[in-house]
Structure 1
Amino acid sequence: MQLYNPLTQSLESFRPNAAPGDLITMYVCGITPYDTTHLGHAFTYTTADVLLRYLEYRGFIVRYVQNVTDIDDDILRRAKKEGGDWLDVGNRWTRHFIEDMINLNVRPPDHYPRATEVIPEIIATVQALIDHGVAYEKNGNVYYHVDDYPQFGALARMDKPTMLKTANERGNNPDDPNKRDPLDFVLWQAHIPGEPAWESPWGAGRPGWHIECSCMSTKFLGTDTIDIHSGGGDLLFPHHTCEIAQIEPLTGKPFVHFWMHAAMVRHDGEKMSKSLGNLVWARELLKTHSSDALRLYLATHHFQVEWSFNAGLLNWAGRVARRLRDAVTCRCTGPEPLDPTPWETAFCAAMDDNLDSPSAIGVLDDLAVQILLHAQNQYDVAAAQHTLRTLSRVFGLLLDGTEPEPRVKEGWQSHLQKFV
């Protein structure tokens, strides 16, 4: 299996010595729960789900962690706007997200930690970074000093002025008088009256965003080096860049083997945003389209290529979903079988080529067409139907059902308990 490695900007073999039964570790940056699931979220998490399912199809055991960033400026602003408690706000929107994932038949992670679960680990890691000489405290705040880590920015391939400009657009405060460098980022933020806080060696406060994921991933995956770390493309910088800087000085090992970033989803060529009022919500689409249609629609876009919402293409995906359903439910037991091996081979070749889901969807559709044609000509299509069902599961398709897989529903409902 070849995957694109943004660190080298090339396709590389993924775990070339791995064999079926081997453990793969995978971490996906989860939501900051202050609003409902839009199409970009759906693309990010269904892409991760397809990768998870394909690895399992190939015989690997995947230990999968996804987080909830349950303490964040956006949540605090939302709580203030609503006049409610920040924890209640986060819990409510996390429950909505879980409902959307169930309705999209997205597999749950093995662990679904919230950032506030790992405050002790965060404090210990921040102290370790201070002891290592790459972080410093000032007036109750702790910052990472980017100049002390020469590889900072290697993932994003940005020079320092570009990093500073991008960071400023994404919440960085370059004028913070406590910083040694405008690009230094917060590891621990001193308490602000009216906001939640935890005690630490530097006084009461709360963690910075980037350190949360670093601690959750290493704790729940139990390894210094993660096989796959995934998330939205907007996280490449600064979030994932900062994650690397926080872990690698302490371990002396690569933090991640392969980074995967789901591309931006647009609307009429423009970035989807609340300010533009052009967000497309997953749950609204599911009112008029099946989960199979939406899953197929999302998978017809390669995870690395930006795309714009297209209602016509979504309707086409609905027609493909119906064709796949018809193909697995038709009945014919003629004397000559339809051998599905060529389609299975083509499917795996597409998926092994940097998770080429659009080509793999084309293979499924062609197999469905051939099943229907051969059934009309009195071929035995049972083996081909079995293959079509099996390969369709890689994309989370239900085909002749509407209820999510029991593993999906039960797994997410077990995680739901902590957000009630």
Structure 2
Amino acid sequence: MHAWPASEVPALPGKGRDLQIHDTATQGTITLAPGPVARIYVCGITPYDATHIGHAATYNAFDLVQRVWLDTKRQVHYVQNVTDVDDPLLERALRDGHDWTELAERETALFREDMTALRMLPPQHYIGAVEAIPGIVPLVERLRDAGAAYELDGDVYFSVESDAHFGGVSNLDAEAMRLLSAERGGDPDRPGKKNPLDPMLWMAARPGEPSWDGGSLGRGRPGWHIECVAIALDHLGMGFDIQGGGSDLAFPHHEMGASHAQVLTGEFPMAKAYVHAGMVALHGEKMSKSKGNLVFVSALRRAGVDPAAIRLALLSHHYRADWEWTDDVLAEAVARLERWRAAVSRPDGIAADAVVEEVREALANDLDAPAALAAVDRWVELQNATDGDDESAPGLVSRTVDALLGVAL
């Protein structure tokens, strides 16, 4: 599966700072100092209704991570998946009378278009669950053969008790895990499971549903968590720098994935930092496909909204914050974009070296995008109020905003 084209990232003078980021597992801020190549895995979409503002906010957060690392003169090895077969996709296709593969391909293509418009840097590896199945089957067989998985009516489940570190990503108690498991695709009440929290690794073929050859597992399709584990281990290995996604993925998805990988490899941890973006609400409730209260990036673009304004709206909120999308949020972003573009369009201006460092410092401090915007706002105010004589300043500000914030002025 191919990703989307990369926009050019301008080079800035000097060098960026190492990233300090909030780690869900330790509930604290840690400093990441990768080697020459930083490694990041971000969980992708289930392509049946893409791309809403909640998606965009999440991928914007991890785009900032990439930009901070690139500014430190590192390379970035970024991997993202597409869950192009799963119950919600099949249910939506059945409801609407569509072929599930066509639905997945159409929504994935729309997601690529939106990511391109928003200037999100693409992953080096963009992998669908279906294409990953040949690599998933051997992992499930290994877990089963090691006694870390068991069969139940043809399905194969992972035993969470096989991982001594289980629970260390989300830090939730058993009852909270059970409730979230029921809400987020698990089946804690299924009779016969060794532990209600045990997640499915391989689902035996169901009538009328797609299935693949699973070798000794029989025909079926993979569970949600093992999909990302197979892709991450194949392309990044253990101990990569960041496992990322929305805050609703901390449990069960990232918790289960970490346990799968740790049992498979005997190594700990799967990722050095588990980083989660907040949820975006509309009319007082979290945007969700099940509720249908979604604002789509593609719809905003069709309405003539500049993608740079959409991106500024996302950047005006800290990535870990839960916040609400409103018309005012977008209007403020549109106005900010107009002010910034007017300021950098002048032939000269106020010296901007300090702005570069202020934006760098803000983003290195747990991706504090609102502080970065405020730094640019201050320069813009001075630029409009004072006659400067630095011919390089407007261009430097423009390159900084492009390179570090992903906004083209």
Relative to the length of structure 2, the TM-score reads 0.90
Q: Which residue of 1 aligns with 2:391?
A: 382
Q: Which residue of 2 aligns with 1:210?
A: 225
Matched letter for residue 13 of structure 1: T
Matched letter for residue 395 of structure 1: L
Give the whole-Å Cα distance in 2 for the aligned partners of 1:174 and 1:348. Answer: 45
Q: Residues 8-27 of structure 1: matches in 2 within 5 Å?
A: 8-15=26-33, 18=34, 22-27=36-41
Among residues 6, 19, 25, which one is paired with 1:7 in the alignment?
25
The answer (yes or no) to whether the contact 2:282–2:325 under 8 Å persists in 1 is yes
Give the whole-Å Cα distance in 2 for the aligned partners of 1:160 and 1:214. Answer: 23
SS in 2 for 1:142: strand
Among residues 309, 314, 320, which one is paired with 2:325 in the alignment?
309
The answer (yes or no) to whether the contact 1:214–1:246 under 8 Å persists in 2 is yes
The answer (yes or no) to whether the contact 2:347–2:394 under 8 Å persists in 1 is no
Among residues 182, 187, 208, which one is paired with 1:168 in the alignment?
182
Q: Which residue of 1 aligns with 2:285?
A: 270
Give the whole-Å Cα distance in 2 for the aligned partners of 1:116 and 1:147. Answer: 28
Q: Alpha-carbon deviation of 1:147?
A: 2.0
Identity %: 39
1:349 and 2:361 aligned: yes
The unaligned stretches of length 5 or more in structure 2 are 1-18
Matched letter for residue 97 of structure 1: F
Matched positions, count: 387
SS in 1 for 2:243: strand
After superposition, the Cα gap between the structure-2 partners of 1:260 and 1:382, relative to the gap in structure 1 and judged at 3 Å, is farther
Q: Alpha-carbon deviation of 1:369?
A: 2.5
Q: Residues 264-413 of structure 1: matches in 2 within 5 Å?
A: 264-286=279-301, 287-332=303-348, 338-374=350-386, 377=387, 379-393=388-402, 394-399=404-409
Cα deviation code 1:229-250 (max 9, x no counterpart):
1111111100000000100122
1:95 and 2:113 aligned: no
The answer (yes or no) to whether the contact 2:23–2:274 under 8 Å persists in 1 is yes
Give the whole-Å Cα distance in 2 for the aligned partners of 1:125 and 1:147. Answer: 18
Q: Alpha-carbon deviation of 1:300?
A: 0.8
Q: Which deviates more from structure 2 when the two are superposed, residues 271-280 or residues 160-169?
A: 271-280
After superposition, the Cα gap between the structure-2 partners of 1:313 and 1:82, relative to the gap in structure 1 and judged at 3 Å, is closer
Give the whole-Å Cα distance in 2 for the aligned partners of 1:120 and 1:276. Answer: 35
Cα deviation code 1:88-129 (max 9, x no counterpart):
111111111111112212221111111111112111111121
Matched letter for residue 284 of structure 1: A
Q: CA RMSD in A?
A: 1.6
Give the whole-Å Cα distance in 2 for the aligned partners of 1:345 and 1:218. Answer: 36
SS in 2 for 1:67: strand
The unaligned stretches of length 5 or more in structure 1 are 400-420
Matched letter for residue 328 of structure 2: G
